[in-house]
A and B are shown apart, each in its own frame.
Chain A
Amino acid sequence: MAKKILRINMTDLTATYEDVPEKWARWAGRGLTSHIIFDEVDPTCHPLGPHNKLVIAPGWVTGSPAAPSSGRTSFGAKSPLTGGIKESNAGGLSGQKIARLGLAAIIIEGTPPANKWYTLVITKDGVKFEDAAPLVGKGMYETDEILWEKYPNTAVIGIGPAGEMKLSNAGISVNDPENKPGRYAGRGGLGAVMGARGVKAIVVDDTGGSTVEIANPELFKIGRRKLTEATQEHALTKKDGALNTYGTAVLVNILNEAGGLPTRNFSSGQFEGAAKISGEMLNEVITERGGEGEVGHGCHPGCIIKCSNIYPDEEGKAYVSAIEYETAWALGANCGIDDLEYVAHMTRECNDAGLDTIEAGNTIAIAMEAGLLEFGDAKGALELLREVKNGTYLGRIIGQGVEATAKAFGVYRVPTVKGQSMPAYEPRAVKGIGITYATTPMGADHTAGYTIAPEIAGVSGKLDPLSTEGKAQLSLTFQAATAFIDSTGYCLFTAFPILDIPKGWEGMAETVAGVTGMDITGDDVIDIGKEILKVERLFNERAGFTSADDRPPEFMRYEKLPPHNVVWDVTDEQLDEVFNWVHNGKA
């Protein structure tokens, strides 16, 4: 049975199933959310107004039988944080269940009467609009529990109080296999877009649903075997490898040793307390406490990498999942905080209130720079975060993210691009990622440019990746490859075996071709990714963005970053090279 688009209108509370139009038939995941936003959302609309839409789409292979680590769900809209197009994706339970209901995408549009809140219950029989008044004001931990009492073993997509208040740093939560709100489409404030539609939660029940249709089962099986083997063989993604053992926070000590760990609102590249909030320390604490604590936790069924974790309290009871690299850095090093216990408390607070931890940590650091509290004040930082859930005036400012908080308190050292704050790699020290931060249509984003193999990317023999020459072309190639992977439904970490093991790449392309019937090979990846980037770029241009928005913050151009004492020295001309092909055709 052909996939459908489920269109939910919150103005008149109707749900309609539409055939997927030809123009969208090729797309899934990020490719589909971005094309729908490009086609249906006025780029000049207010992100919280009646003409923005929230689009939810699983990837090409999501929900297919045992495609490894393929449970991602893409969320797209015009972003309240950046004012541009946004795709943010998450693991958890939603993607596979949406796919098994035969849905290519869910489009949520319209606005209900003021102060009306709904839970959308999506099953094979249709959509129920339930009054969500009993859930309003509740955090995501309680929301997930209440909804599972009535709808056990379902996917719960929800927003916390931050989304209800339509704050620009509100994320969208997806429950994990333990029904905890650890998986977030965090970046860009998409939780506020969901809140503006009057939707507190979406329950997805795939009972009685069908399996995802496979156009070419033999090709799919061949590809699945190759990708699975490559993932299990690769040093980074195999069982007991670094990701599985230490989680993504394995990067804390590495970036710190390299002098690229942003510290105290991007004023240094090294933090003296880094080891205390690192993946290695996380492993020691979790192992020591035992009980329900877990390293090597899978964030969605079918994941074979398992880089997530469950941090237990002192009695061994599950307390929060997951403490990721970006989380430990944002709420730790960037605030001068070296107390892992407080990092765990703040992570849980973000998960409950419905906040992106990267933006939240950066915002606390701005408040520290402004003198509201001292760098290193862990207790004060936690109290400040709690203001958000409590809905105080100060909390509402903090919940708006870095730029709004910086304006409110007169801070000019503001580490953002296109309104979104930078993740945990200092661009003055790690210049390659800085080019991607500056130019991606998403605003500063560490997941926008994953490295892809030179032979797949078609990088010419003349290009030296170790020099600054050609970095623009590399960034474009990486961004295009990432846009493609974000459309597959595979976790971005499959990029590692894809890059280093030839059969990994073949396997990914073959599983996509096997499920969809499309004739996709490695040679097509960059061109397909560029099609996605192009509509995202054009949307932003029509929303008013210019090349001046493709720049890192000014202070990084003149303020030397210790310990290497370097400034941002990539030229504006180099940055403009990344996307000049959109209009002149030269890529």
Chain B
Amino acid sequence: MENIQVQVNLYGKIASKAGGRHIARLNLTLPQGAAVCDLLAQLGIADHERGYLFVNAVLCEVPGISTGGAEVLKDGDHVGIFSLDHMWPYQYRDGVPMSASLKQTLSAQDSGHGAMRHTYQNKKTDP
């Protein structure tokens, strides 16, 4: 089976997992068919350590909410992962492209209004 190459940027405390202080950039080799959750497992980044997560500029996770990392990665994809404490006020992300699974999860929060929060809490992902 052929492998794929994925470019990954880590920001904040989790950068230390790839030798960075606050920022780390690396290229990862993953097996064909690997998903975001496989990448996270390879880097050893737990749910409670990460916040915003992007795949090719599409928002897939927000702090406190893990959507499972089911997105299958392709060769040449870019993944950006931020530590839990990074902030992004709602008014500055209102309308950005989101993955279907994140949109669905946020829609279920407080009858949809929860999407407007600045931080989120999902007890299943707490350490």
Tell me, yes or no, whether A257 is within 8 Å of chain B by CB.
Answer: yes
Q: Give the A-B pair count, Cβ closer than 8 A.
A: 146
- Mark contacts of B11-47 with chain A using CB atoms, 8 A cut-off: 1 yes-contact digit, 0 otherwise: 1100100000111010000000000000000000000
The answer to the question of B115 belonging to the interface, with a C-beta cut-off of 8 Å to chain A, is yes
Q: How many residues of B contact A (CB 8 A)?
A: 43
Does B124 lie at the interface of the complex (its beta carbon under 8 Å from any beta carbon of A)?
no
Nearest CB of chain A from residue B36's CB, rounded to whole Å: 14
> Given the complex of chains A and B, what is the CA–CA distance between A236 and B64 in angstroms?
13
Q: Which A residues touch B112, using CB under 8 A? A: 463-466
CB of A259 within 8 Å of the partner chain: yes
Task: Check B68 for interface membership: any CB of A closer than 8 A.
Answer: no
**Residue in chain B with minimal CB distance to A236:** B87
A496 at the interface (CB under 8 A from B): yes
Q: How far is the CA of A245 from the CA of B89 in the complex (A)?
A: 16
Shortest C-beta distance, B91 to chain A (Å), equals: 5
A257 touches B63 (CB 8 A): no
Number of interface residues of A (CB under 8 A): 57
Chain B interface mostly helix, strand, loop or mixed?
mixed
How long is the Cα–Cα vector from A433 to B107 in the complex, in angstroms?
Answer: 20
The answer to whether the Cβ of A137 comes within 8 Å of any Cβ in the partner chain is: no
Tell me, in angstroms, the Cα distance from A309 to B24 when the chains sit together.
Answer: 23
For window 556-577 of chain A, which residues contact chain B by CB distance below 8 Å?
A: 563-564
A254 touches B82 (CB 8 A): yes
Given the contacts A258-B59, A259-B97, A280-B23, A250 and B116 also touching, CB distance less than 8 Å:
no
B93 → A minimal CB distance (Å): 6
Q: Tell me if A320 counts as interface (CB < 8 A to partner B).
A: no
Q: What sequence of 0s and 1s flags, for each residue 224-244 of chain A, a beta carbon within 8 Å of any chain B beta carbon? A: 000000000011100011110
* A523 contacts partner chain B, Cβ-Cβ < 8 Å: no
**Most chain B CB atoms below 10 A, which of A235, A241, A432, A454:** A235
* Contact between chains at A250 and B87 (CB < 8 Å): yes
Q: Point out the residue from B22, B85, B106 that lies within 8 Å of A466, measured CB to CB.
A: B106
> Closest A-chain residue to B92, C-beta based?
A425
- Contact assessment for A280 and B115 in the assembled complex, using a CB-CB cutoff below 8 Å: no
- Specify the chain B residue showing the minimal Cβ separation from A474: B94
A454 & B110 in contact (Cβ 8 Å cutoff): yes
User: Which chain A residues (439-458) contact chain B, with CB distance < 8 Å?
Assistant: 446, 449-451, 453-455
* Chain B hits for A478, CB < 8 A: 91
In the bound complex, what is the Cα–Cα distance between A450 and B118 (angstroms)? Answer: 11
Known: A251-B92, A259-B57, A278-B23. A236 touches B116 (CB 8 A): no
A34 contacts across to B, CB distance below 8 A: none
Q: Given A257-B57, A260-B96, check contact A464 B9 (CB 8 Å).
A: no
Q: Is the CB of B54 within 8 A of A431?
A: no
Interface members, chain A 240-270 (any B CB < 8 Å): 240-243, 245-246, 250-251, 253-255, 257-260, 269-270
Q: Is the CB of A465 within 8 A of B113?
A: yes
Measured between beta carbons, the chain A residues less than 8 angstroms from B118 are 234, 236, 451, 496, 499-500
CA distance A454 to B23 in the complex (A): 35
Given A466-B107, A499-B118: A431 touches B57 (CB 8 Å cut-off): no
Judging by beta carbons under 8 Å apart, are B57 and A254 in contact?
Answer: no
Pairwise interchain contact B11-A459, C-beta atoms closer than 8 A: no
B103 contacts A by Cβ under 8 Å: yes
- Shortest Cβ gap from A89 to chain B (Å): 17
From B97, which residue of chain A is reached at the shortest CB distance?
A564
Query: Could you name 13 residue pairs across A and B whose Cβ atoms are closer than 8 Å?
Result: A234-B118, A242-B87, A257-B80, A258-B96, A259-B57, A260-B93, A280-B22, A284-B21, A429-B96, A431-B94, A465-B113, A500-B117, A564-B97
List 9 other contacts, CB 8 Å, given A253-B23, A253-B82, A429-B96.
Answer: A234-B119, A235-B63, A241-B85, A251-B88, A258-B57, A260-B92, A430-B92, A450-B91, A499-B90
Q: Give me the 3 closest cross-chain CB pairs, A-B, nearest first.
A: A432-B94, A431-B95, A257-B80
